[in-house]
Amino acid sequence: MEKKNYFETEAIRRQMEHTQYHEHTAPIFMTSSFVFDDAEHARALFADEVGGNIYTRFSNPNTNELIDKIAWMEGAEDGFAVATGMSAVFTSLASFLRSGDHILVSKSVFGSTLQVVTNILPRWGIEYSLADVAKPETWESLIRKNTKMIMVETPSNPALDLIDLEWLGALANRHGVLLNVDNCFATPYLQNPLKWGAHIVTHSATKFMDGQGRTLGGMIVGSKELIKEVRFFARHSGPAMSPFNAWMLSKSLETLAVRMDRHCSNAMELAKRLQKNPEVELVKYPFLESHPNYALAKKQMKQGGAIVTFLVKGGVERGRKFLNALEMASHTANLGDCRTIATHPASTTHSKLSEEDRLSVGILPGLIRVSVGLEHIEDIVSEIENALQKSK
């Protein structure tokens, strides 16, 4: 019988080699630098003739273990770990774009990603166009001769719109441009964009990879050739992940599968219950048959994820009353925690966008985003339903 480690097994058992102390779990290498065997060893390391660690801004045993684990999960050849999710996004852009280049970006990417593309990259002569996920037929016409990259997020934050990665991968390859996919919401357990044609995958490891709201981190994975460019840029610009954060994230990945299974089952049940609530106008969840991209979600995702969005009757004011009526659920801008979190995107995470831009990506005034946690499902449902009732 062929021996094959499954996702759950590899996430737990894949780790660095034991040291001479025979520890059962990987130690933390809290050091800024590493010593050389001799002058020749130092020269060879800096010349990339031998492998090894020089300086933690470049690499560290803990970040190496984390990279190896996530690259395996995503089916990638290599990767690079950085300090935050937005470090991952920015590094994945800045490593490949030059003055005079053009990038095509989905309107539905995370708000901070949109700020980088529309307000920061143009300072360096990088042009952009925004594409509508609801109008895929228009995307090809937006690609120019100087287009170097397409950047998308699927499912999107917070509207939960999906993009056909197989179609988009073929489009990118036809025009010789890189496809960069933010896979934060799905995690490598639920979706593998490289399988469908993506060239680069970025993650905010702060979210479900950590899963407990404790730390920050970001990840970029892809082919060895592409990550060589990422590593060069990151080595000299310095968005390094701390060894402690890398150690913590690697340990958290050991339970990613079991946590995501529970997140997804809770989210699916909450979405079904909300569909029946008279105080809710609309519920969006990728694995609900009512979702406009339901068939696509079933094709490219293993399960529907942990995020549910719904529209309360009464607009912004009702949304605020709902949030103020919560008792158990956390009211914070984060997501991906083991605790259920409710957020009003229009007034917080996406408030920097104009009202027109928010509406164009499905962020309606009364939209509530729920990052469904690991509590008992009946407690979660009761919490949301009670807040809806109290906010009438």
Q: What is the 3-state secondary structure (H, E, C) of 125-147?
A: CCEEEEECCCCHHHCHHHCCCCE
- What's residue 369's pLDDT? 95
- What's residue 353's pLDDT? 65
From residue 229, alpha-carbon distances to 38, 179, 222, 384, 391 in Å are 29, 15, 11, 46, 51
- What's residue 318's pLDDT? 87
- What's residue 232's pLDDT? 97
- What's residue 45's pLDDT? 96
In the predicted structure, residue 1 carries a pLDDT above the cut 60: no
Measured CA to CA, the distance from residue 97 to residue 212 in angstroms comes to 34
Q: Could you identify the residue written with the tokens 């958290």?
A: 252
- What's residue 169's pLDDT? 98
DSSP state of 117: I
User: Does an H or E element contain 220, and which?
Assistant: strand 218-222
**Span of 85-89, 309-313, 373-377, 382-386 with lowest mean pLDDT:** 309-313
- What's residue 5's pLDDT? 82
DSSP state of 27: P
Measured CA to CA, the distance from residue 81 to residue 244 in angstroms comes to 12
In the predicted structure, residue 172 carries a pLDDT above the cut 90: yes
Sheet holding 280-284, edge to edge: 280-284, 307-312, 367-371, 341-343, 330-331
- What's residue 176's pLDDT? 98
Q: What is the mean pLDDT of residues 357-375?
A: 83
In the predicted structure, residue 149 carries a pLDDT above the cut 70: yes
- What's residue 111's pLDDT? 86
- What's residue 350's pLDDT? 63
Q: Could you identify the residue written with the tokens 């969005």?
A: 309
| Residue 390: CB atoms within 10 Å | 13
Looking only at the bridges linking them, the beta strands covering 102-106 and 330-331 are: unpaired
Measured CA to CA, the distance from residue 33 to residue 163 in angstroms comes to 43
Which bin fits 75, alpha (ψ -120 to 50), beta or left (φ > 0)? left
Which residues does 346 contact at the CB level (< 8 Å), separation at least 6?
316, 319, 358, 363, 364, 365, 367
Give me the amino acid identity at 287.
F
CB 144 within 8 A of CB 275: no
In the predicted structure, residue 37 carries a pLDDT above the cut 80: yes
CB 259 within 8 A of CB 267: no
At residue 221 the predicted structure's pLDDT band, cuts being 50, 70 and 90, is very high
Q: What is the mean pLDDT of residues 214-233?
A: 98
Measured CA to CA, the distance from residue 370 to residue 322 in angstroms comes to 12
Q: Which domains does the chain have, with CATH numbers?
A: 7-253 (3.40.640.10), 256-390 (3.90.1150.10)
pLDDT tens digits for range 246-277? 999 999 999 999 999 999 999 999 999 999 99
- What's residue 265's pLDDT? 98
- What's residue 226's pLDDT? 98
Q: What is the mean pLDDT of residues 121-132?
A: 97
Burial class (CB in 10 A: 0-12, 13-18, 19+), 289: exposed
pLDDT tens digits for range 270-310? 999 999 999 999 999 999 999 999 999 999 999 999 999 99
The residue among 332 and 200 whose pLDDT is bigger is 200
